A and B are shown apart, each in its own frame.
Chain A
Amino acid sequence: MSKPLDYENLNENVKKCQYAVRGELYLRASELQKEGKKIIFTNVGNPHALGQKPLTFPRQVIALCQAPFLLDDPNVGLVFPADTIARAKHYLSLTSGGLGAYSDSRGVPGVRKEIADFIERRDGYPSDPELIFLTDGASKGVMQILNSIIRGEQDGILVPVPQYPLYSATISLLGGSLVPYYLEETANWGLDIVNLRESVSQARSQGITVRAMVIINPGNPTGQCLSEANLKEVLQFCYQNNLVLLGDEVYQQNIYQDERPFISARKVLMDMGGPISKELQLVSFHTVSKGYWGECGQRGGYFEMTNIPPKTVEEIYKVASISLSPNVPGQIFLGLMVNPPKPGDISYERFVRESKGILESLRRRAQIMTDGFNSCRNVVCNFTEGAMYSFPQIRLPPKAIEAAKKAGKVPDVFYCLKLLEATGISTVPGSGFGQKEGVFHLRTTILPAEEDMPPIMTSFKKFNDEFMEQYEDYRGYSRM
């Protein structure tokens, strides 16, 4: 008799969902690492794993919060600066029993207030702490919101292609439908309203009710920063089509060009004024995992709701309460992120030095990688305007595609596996993010240490150019 957890009896939605970031390539890389091969993991936006140091100030504060008995020790000042001690006391006073007590299911009220204040400073419009919910990482928040929206497979969510596969995986798990809208690679991964409209009509003609639109700004894996004009168009589009906009803004601190600084969807909405600013439903997501903080392991994130009806907010609160509360240390990291040391604080100089150091280096690495990829045969790479990734297009020759087919692999997986075996560089094939038919990419992060970048790019170029040599016709690359 077959058992409930036999493979054939599993929830189909689980079987269907895919999350390539920790999929086949990653598993193979882990195997090789176990065998002793040196692997450079560029598959996940995981800065500290590639040598980025944590910022000192938050770690000092959190250590004191973990061990409050230190605060009474006369020698604590020998190891911890006074402003970290004050800050630890501040956050402990905001909790209802220290780090070890469940907080309010929406997060510690005092921290939510700090986040609201940050949003107001950033955007110039007040934000309501009651509409800010903290979560164990932004991913959990995304899942909670999508879970509220998706009723069944007739509900569609507009998702950019390429996209961060949290969206496709979650939509799959929840039994909804992903409605893709293609970003324009030749226009620097720009968002074209015409594409959007087409995607929506196509979905509707298939009987799908399109309910929400996801934008990832700055983009992942594509890195593009949306212009204000583009954001306005998107907001108008959502308004006209009765969609809730889900603004994944986790990379808002990672901006590597000056033409398009980060502007939040909420700010643009509020700037527009009028009925749209009071009616367009928006949920915005942020995290401590990215930016210059890179504190992925803390699992700290939040979402902010705009124009969501109070009764819906209550339901979302109810579901949050089933998991009791997000982890408290992660919440404190969020508070620290939105409320860093100020000029005059003892820790200010060091904090600025550390943060600037990281951001400036990321900017340099974004350039090194883009240029490096562009110097390779059959590789074209848009500049990484923001976020943490490079997403070069690999123009695979027909013979390579054939060889992939023979090996039973998707072409970009085939390429990435060969890259891994030859160089130890572990990437994520573009198919994991979605791409136009017949166009192949890979995603790598810009996170390896700056001094490691040149040898990595050299190693890549050697592999790539040899690969292209091997699989090209004598007559050079020909289109399929």
Chain B
Amino acid sequence: MKTVTNGHLQFVITNTQNNVKFQLDLFTLEENSLRMKINELEPIRKRYEVQNVIVNEPKLVSVTTSKLDVNQLEGHFGKTCRFILVSNPFRLDLFTNENVFVVSVNSKQLFNFEHYRKKQSSDGETPLHDEDGMWEETYKTHTDSKPHGPSSIGIDINFVNFENVYGIPEHADSFSLKSTHDTDPYRLFNVDVFEYDIQNPMALYGSIPYMLAHNEQTSVGFFWLNAAEGWIDITNNKLSTKNLFSTIKNFFGTTKVENELPEITTHWMFESGIFDGFFFLGPTPRDVFRQYGLITGTTPLPPLWAIAYHQCRWNYNDEDDIKNVNAGFEHHMIPMDVLWLDIEHTNGKRYFTWDTGKFPNPEKMQQDIALYGRKMVTISDPHIKKDDNYHIYADAKLKQYFVKSKDGSDYEGWCWPGSSMWLDYFNPEIFDWYASRYSYQHYKGSTSTLFLWNDMNEPSVFNGPEVTFPKDVVHYGDLENRDVHNIYGMLQHMATFKGLLDRSEGRERPFILTRSFFAGSQRTAAVWTGDNAAQWSHLKMVVPMLLSLSVTGIGLVGADVGGFFKNPDPKLIVRWYQAASFQPFFREHAHIDTARREPWLFGDDNTRLIRQAIETRYTYLPYWYTLFYKQEKQALPPMLPLWAVFPHDTQTFKKDDSFMIGNSLLVYPITDADVTEVSIYFPGNNTIWYDIRTFIPYNGSETLLITVDMESIPVYQRGGSIIPQRLRKRRSSMLAINDPITLIVTLDKNNEARGELYMDDGHTYDYKKKRQFIYRRFLFKNNELTSSSLNPNGKFDTTAWIERIVIMGYPRNPNKVSINSGEQTAIPLHSYHDKQKVVIIRRPGPSISTDWTLTIS
């Protein structure tokens, strides 16, 4: 052992079979986190360490070490964390809250590290365990030349005393991950899958090698920073406590020690790279979210309109079509914020160009839409059409900006435009050059109300192996695609983000939607779940998929409303709108072969239902926006599993038919055709839930049958919370920015409640640079509702005021309600509804930005 600095320990471990030596670095980090890196001590070729993911070099905290015996080293760090490193056989045990044993690394001794080797060793020595496929692999008609030979790493990470693990997106599978005993392992490899299967561990468009585990006591996370193809096997075990070292055994101290503990063994394998593992030791769910967010970053507050309703289709055909769809929303009085243009808007899928026959005046089109406070989004995919007359291609070709084949020539493949090439974003010069293509000067026809969509960025290569790059394709810096595959898509949307940021000189918040993603994508893009289908089973799959993305840091997530492929029947699309109106990213999108499905095309009754769902979304935007602010600050995803809010409620651990929006709304989307009742679990002992439509209260810790009709979106506000809403109707979110606020106060069993409201201009960085924002805390206690500032440094001019206060669960009709804001005291009118025990206070009146106290007597 060598102490490099306090908090950084270094060891050498040896493969006893072949004497290959490895360096092990242990970093004790702030916020109950620990990082362990293992790399070859003297590799014949430098192994790739992933760049572009970690936001800041993690801060070390001091560690106090002591030798337990000749074989075991103990280290204390942070307030309550410790590790035990066992030298032979190598193993690492982790403890949180002093004595809670949570993670054990390599206790199943599956650690396997294929060091780089020469194909034929010069001394004639036969390489150890040489197998077929080590130096060349064939898949269908594709051959992977594997010039550097075998390089994989595998290790077992064991979650002790846990029965549920989550995360490692992207898979169309349950939220609580399944045992892979009878299936393939969960695979991490960014690919464009045509009509993907659900309930399947197969790889999809993006990868985040990050897993969380949760039980009644603790939450922990494990993140392996590796961008190569990965496979993860999951086994539910019983851990016999008899085999544990006596020192460890003691750590179960206060809890009853049984002979067996549940344990989940996860066996991780990556094709190349190094072992670079982060362990987040919680102990609460919020802690784990924050700990991961510190390393990989959080989603910066999106523009307000980005969390409103988006209308997309492959394709809106021309300027008239856009005009008519916009007019349709006006005519049917359905709020909408963004109109999207898919690939057909370009001149032959040459991105940054327009099909001028169909879009002769794109600036005017965008300006006309902007009159309604609305934005537009165009698509820009990473494949560049091979055409010397296409300026992007010609420039990039001249500058040698394309990804290379193994033989050094430009890699060429097929995608939408036919023969295409792909930009090498790994080169900072190319990254910047690509970003600058989004400047108004270079992207002709773009305006400040135009934003971007990066699709097909796995990348999708129609004639490539598994419809993507061959593994032996070469990127800048002699990087093999094998090592970096899973971050290619992220680099594209990061460059797009930079482009949009630069075009406004850092003033306006960009918006980008991406299909491919990696850990860290949350910093620059929203993510959607790709090409789903118009089937009830796909609607049902949305919640687990979005939860998996949310807990692994991707906050702005959604699925195509109605399903991308095929035509939804009216019931399915209505239910889908209702579900999506309570999911973070809310966009209708459809395949070019499907029938038109703008909200008014399913009959008057369904138009009304869809309008209601979208309107409901808009009423909750102040709450959503506040949650996204908290996501930026605290890495707390807006969409949460029930256990993140009720960590001790074991009934919630496997729930993925329902979810939370923030800590105050419980959402149970209806995902079956023709149901008249649904069985809903209301979490939390001693918790009351109020139906947001009927105000009827329900008790927590119970599963209840709730009667539903086509109007129903079962959503409940938690007793003890205060939610700000805008109940006025507007055409788009940005036109409502100064509208008054209604506070919905739902009392808990102690007649208390609290909530927050964040507000700013909705689109610039002034909230950061000039502290132009309002952040309020509302607290109801002892018959007083107070509004106070959570951050007095923030100032924001707004005419918004408190229009109405609704208090649910108030036991009696108040005699008098008065409100004091500074010197003034007013007596607003109020009403009381006996049956529902609701007080409604009419026009309390104070400005959003002032401190006030409302007293009920």
Q: Is chain B found bound to chain A in the same assembly?
A: no
